[in-house]
Amino acid sequence: MAMFLAALDATKAEKIVPNYNIKVIMDFEEELGSPRLPDAVVKNAELLKADILIIYDGPQHITNKPTLTFGARGIATIALTTYGPVVPQHSGHFGNYAPNPALRLSKLLASMKDDEGRVTIPGFYDGISIDSKTAKILKAVPDDDVQIKKRLQIAESDKVGNYYQESIQYPSLNIRGMQSGWIDEKARTIIPGWARAEIDVRLVLETDPVRLLNLIKEHIAAQGYFVIIREPTEQERLTHEKIATFESEISYQSFRTDFDSEVGLWLRKALKNAFGEEPIMIRTSGGSIPISPFVTTLGIPAVTVPTVNRDNNQHSPNENLRLGNYREGIKTMIAILKEKL
């Protein structure tokens, strides 16, 4: 915000007048998850009508070079629960007799993906294709896969894509949490009563989230499960050998703007004029931003122009802003203000 105000002052001092009108949305509750922003946007949709939406949010590429981000994956979540005996049972007296819900859950999760992290549910990746033009732009991002792996301390990455940028063009199915019974000093010799996995599904533009969640649900049913959206009753437990509770929520959808859209070409030109080289262009951010719902609501092509350094400890202790990024951010914004549309 300070960068933008400084950029406005600078253009005024230089008597530069943008040849377009500006409407500004400022969100001071982003660290709270922007709870009131979507509503405010819906209520003021008429007032906020525009041709182009620029989002000044988030960090630049790790190389800290001028960056444009053209989209973000959306996110949906699933809580998946399987059942064993109605209350935990002594694993000596009932081990080999009472079905174990953690084994049930493990088998379900294992059936969804292959050893290299690819979802094996038919149709999950339908509609997505990385053509040669897109591949070229993805490969132009100066990522260093060796460095990424070294930083994560992994010997090999999952194989949904052939490299980092390609991998995040696809929806994901990630086990973000899992529990059954207890571990470590709390471990008890029981057959647990239930097992639960928390799953997040990152969404991309090609994939209807409702269809994606249904594919997963149908896959579970196809493994012989009676799938419900609440805890089973005693009668259901006594009737159905395998029961799964499937609770899902679509948090927000993805958005993605074409590189060659009017806003894309215009911003690329502005940044090239300011810095003398093409910006790094990110087709999709892997993470989801709560701004997408009103990109969709407003129906305006949007591009993110990140300006801050990636090691800024965003939302964390020792949050920081590199002075060079502050200066270059102002320069970026001046360039955009004076670029002819």
Residues 152-181 that bind a second copy (CB under 8 A): 152-158, 160-161, 164, 167-168, 170, 172, 174-181
Which residue from 49, 150, 211, 327 is in contact with a second copy, where contact means CB under 8 A? 150
Amino acid at 134: T
Beta carbon of residue 121, minimum distance to a second copy (angstroms, whole number): 14
- 174-183: long-range contacts at Cβ-Cβ below 8 A with a sequence spacing of 24 or more? 174/199, 174/200, 174/201, 174/202, 175/109, 175/199, 176/200, 178/105, 178/109, 180/101, 180/102, 180/105, 181/88, 181/102
Q: Which is nearer to a second copy, 20 or 182 (CB)?
A: 182
Residues 6+ apart with CB under 8 A from 326: 2, 3
Q: Which is nearer to a second copy, 191 or 308 (CB)?
A: 191
Three-point CA angle 166, 145, 305, nearest 5°? 60
Smallest gap from Cβ 46 to a second copy, in A, equals 32
Query: Shortest gap between Cβ of 157 and a second copy (angstroms)?
Result: 5
Going from the C-alpha of 133 to that of each of 129, 130, 137, 222, 255, the distances in angstroms are: 11, 8, 7, 38, 20
The site that binds a second copy (CB under 8 A) totals a number of residues, namely: 82
Nearer of residues 170 and 255 to a second copy, judged by Cβ: 170
Q: Taking CB under 8 A as the criterion, which residues in 223-262 touch a second copy?
A: 224, 234, 237-241
Q: State yes or no: residue 197 binds a second copy (CB under 8 A).
A: yes
Largest CA distance in the chain: 85
40 binds a second copy per the rule CB under 8 A: no
The span from the CA of 245 to the CA of 165, in Å, is: 34
How many other C-beta atoms can be found within 10 angstroms of the C-beta atom of residue 166? Answer: 16
**Residue closer to a second copy, measured from CB, 144 or 277:** 144
Paired tokens of 34: 């922007």
User: Footprint of a second copy on residues 69-108 (CB under 8 A)?
Assistant: 73, 75, 77, 79, 84-86, 89-100, 102-103, 105-107
Q: Smallest gap, in angstroms, from Cβ of residue 182 to a second copy?
A: 5
Q: Pick the piece of the chain touching a second copy (CB under 8 A) from 8-16, 48-56, 143-151, 209-217.
A: 143-151
Rounded to a whole number of angstroms, the minimum distance from the CB of residue 313 to a second copy is: 14
Specify the residue, 232 or 338, whose C-beta has the smaller distance to a second copy: 232
Selected binder of a second copy within 22, 110, 140, 265 (CB under 8 A): 110
Identity of residue 298: L
Distance CA 32, CA 29 (A): 5
Is residue 123 part of the contact set for a second copy (CB under 8 A)? no
Report the site for a second copy in 280-299 (rule: CB under 8 A).
Answer: 285-288
- In 3D space, the residue among 81, 75, 76, 79 whose CA is nearest the CA of residue 247 turns out to be 79
